[in-house]
Amino acid sequence: MDGVTYQRFPTVKIREMKHEYMKFELRETDASIANALRRVMLAEVPTIAIDLVEIESNSSVLNDEFLSHRLGLIPLVSDKAMDMRFSRDCDACDGDGQCQYCSVEFLLNVRCEGDQTLDVTSQDLRSADMAAMPVDFEIGRGFDAGGYDHSNDKKGIIIVKLRRGQELRLRAIARKGIGKDHAKWSPAATVTFMYEPEIHINEELMETLTLTEKLNWIESSPTKVFDIDPNTQQVVVVDPEAYTYDDEVIKKSEAMGKPGLVEIYAKDDSFIFTVESTGAISAYQLVINALEILKQKLDAVRLSDDTQENDEQFGELRQHMGGVS
């Protein structure tokens, strides 16, 4: 039986790739692989996040556990998380923050002295390890989409606001973890995939419609999938992927007494993925890490040698017994 294989050879086409956003096409595989990839990206790709907080002094308006929770949710740059150890597997330490293999220590020491309210942000977290700093969103670089000028804004994520005389001093330990344990470790903001739609317009039947009927029919779709060609006045597909499998155009053609105006299939071996990361790792790295994790998971579910041997002995035993089966 050696050499027999039912392996597939999927293809990938990246449409758009930014640091924390990516859109790609995955073809020649099935929904189980696409969904496994999505699930692993959301819940099983490791990142680092603050997991233990020792508060030395807190005279802010927020209580200690509220602050600790907020600290945990701050995304940290986790490029080295794949090579780190989980604290529970680390035999070099007891997870106290001094261990280079499994933890990163952060210090925060802020006191408000002026009359102005002081914002304590993720940028105030100090760490000895430059590779695990809080994610920098680079707000304050010019104007946003709404035309609002951010150039005077302080960068970082606000943790708490202090008024005169209030202070916050703490030590935090960040550890490696996965989204399955707690959502703060999830590197994914959103991961979605959709089947690629295949839209066939019945041109012959479509030409029996008047222009107003055509426009009415086009309007029945909640998303802009179809349009009129201004030259030929024919209905054309402008954006097949805008189709949300809502069946509205199909219902409309039936209501107009012209069933079969359009046929729409979902190609079940072709997927369009959208991946958005929190910034902890890049969207591209998120996909690569997910593939690696999935491979490791598969290796972990291989049968152990002793299980296989036990079964072989059992098979022989059955043969001695005269093949009772």
CB atoms within 10 A of CB 259: 13
CB of 291 to other proteins, least distance (A): 5
Rounded to whole angstroms, the Cα distance separating 247 from 199 reads 12
- The DSSP code for 89 is G
CB of 32 to other proteins, least distance (A): 4
Residue closer to other proteins by CB (options 188, 225) is 188
CB of 126 to other proteins, least distance (A): 29
Residue closer to other proteins by CB (options 11, 216) is 11
* Residue carrying the six token digits 């099983």: 44
Rounded to 5 degrees, what angle do the CA atoms 297, 299, 300 make?
65
Residue closer to other proteins by CB (options 216, 310) is 310
Rounded to whole angstroms, the Cα distance separating 290 from 308 reads 29
- What SS3 state is found at 250? helix
Residue closer to other proteins by CB (options 278, 289) is 289
Residue closer to other proteins by CB (options 181, 276) is 181
Residue closer to other proteins by CB (options 12, 158) is 12
Residue closer to other proteins by CB (options 28, 263) is 28
Rounded to whole angstroms, the Cα distance separating 65 from 160 reads 13
CB of 193 to other proteins, least distance (A): 14
Residue closer to other proteins by CB (options 12, 61) is 12
CB of 89 to other proteins, least distance (A): 9
At a CB cut-off of 8 Å and minimum separation 6, what does 125 contact? 74, 106, 107, 108, 133, 134, 172
State the virtual CA torsion across 121, 123, 129, 130 in degrees, nearest 10. Answer: 150
Strand partners, 167: 111
* Residue carrying the six token digits 């935090």: 172
| Structure-block tokens of residue 213 | 């009927």
CB of 160 to other proteins, least distance (A): 26
- What SS3 state is found at 120? strand
Interface residues toward other proteins, by CB under 8 A: 1, 4-14, 17, 24, 29-30, 32-33, 35-36, 39-40, 44, 88, 178, 180-182, 284, 287-288, 291-292, 294-295, 297-304, 307-308, 310-311, 314, 325
**Whose CA is closest to 102, among 114, 85, 125, 119?**
85
Rounded to whole angstroms, the Cα distance separating 231 from 169 reads 70
CB of 146 to other proteins, least distance (A): 28
CB of 91 to other proteins, least distance (A): 15
